[in-house]
Amino acid sequence: MPTQVTAFPWVPPFAQGFVRDLRVRWALEEAGLPYEVILVDPATKSSADYRRWQPFAQVPAYRDDEVELFESGAIVLHIAAKSEALAPKEPAGRERAMMWVIAALNSVEPQVQNFVTLDAFYGGEAWVEGFRPKAWAMTRERLAALEDWLQAKEWLEDRFTVGDLVMTCVLRELIESGSLKTFPVVEAYVERCLARPAFGRALEAQLETFRRHAPAA
């Protein structure tokens, strides 16, 4: 059976390049593993059938010969377990890579998402200006910790791993607002990760699907 990953045929421009199948595509590109995309339209994603695969009605869901999974963080860890391109072979190094995936998902992404979604989801609502400084303060605290951690480091650990892949996907959402400017070490780190050819291929693959399915103007 070919490896299958679900994705949306089209999303509004602000979300293009950020839908989470990108994380899985990037991991598969780093690992050099081929995959097949299953497009899931809005009606299908809420169906009982799809929810048995992805209970939260989101993308990506994933299956291969070994396992059926949802949750992009879990899928990239599964791919990392198959490929030394994403994690070292020795057990402690693998666990450190897994640790950074979890840190990105649970100690950085919630803060970043609260900050970056304020305008996209709630733009113009009065309460937003009360929350914005709190959301930024929590994000800034995590960026400051990463700025310290990454001093004189090329990657989060001593080589590129799936932890860098997920951390970069979390942090790149801050680029457009200019929020990384005051954290030059983090900014250079994110740019270094995004310059990897595998990221470029993954991004282009997601965007190409959206171009093909763009609604008529």
State residue 104 phi and psi, 5-degree precision. Answer: -60, -45
Q: Per CB under 8 A, which region of 37-45, 145-153, 179-187, 193-201 contacts a copy of itself?
A: 145-153
| Residue 176, burial from CB neighbour count under 10 angstroms (0-12, 13-18, 19+) | exposed
User: What is the chain's Cα-based Rg?
Assistant: 18
83 binds a copy of itself (CB under 8 A): no
Nearest-angstrom CA–CA distance, 199 and 28:
10
Beta bridge partners of 68: 63
Task: For residue 37, state whether it binds a copy of itself (rule: CB under 8 A).
Answer: no
For tokens 């919630």, name the residue.
110
Range 45-74, binding a copy of itself (CB under 8 A):
51, 55-58, 66-67, 69-71, 73-74
- Any contact of residue 4 with a copy of itself (CB under 8 A)? no
* 3-state SS assignment for residue 55: coil
Strands 4-7, 36-39: parallel, antiparallel or unpaired by DSSP?
parallel
Q: How near is the Cβ of 146 to a copy of itself at its closest, in Å? A: 7
Of the candidate residues 10, 17, 96, 173, the single one contacting a copy of itself (CB under 8 A): 96
Which residues of the shown chain bind a copy of itself in the complex (CB under 8 A)? 51, 55-58, 66-67, 69-71, 73-74, 77-78, 91-92, 95-96, 98-99, 101-103, 105-107, 109-110, 113-114, 121-122, 125-131, 134, 142, 145-146, 148-149
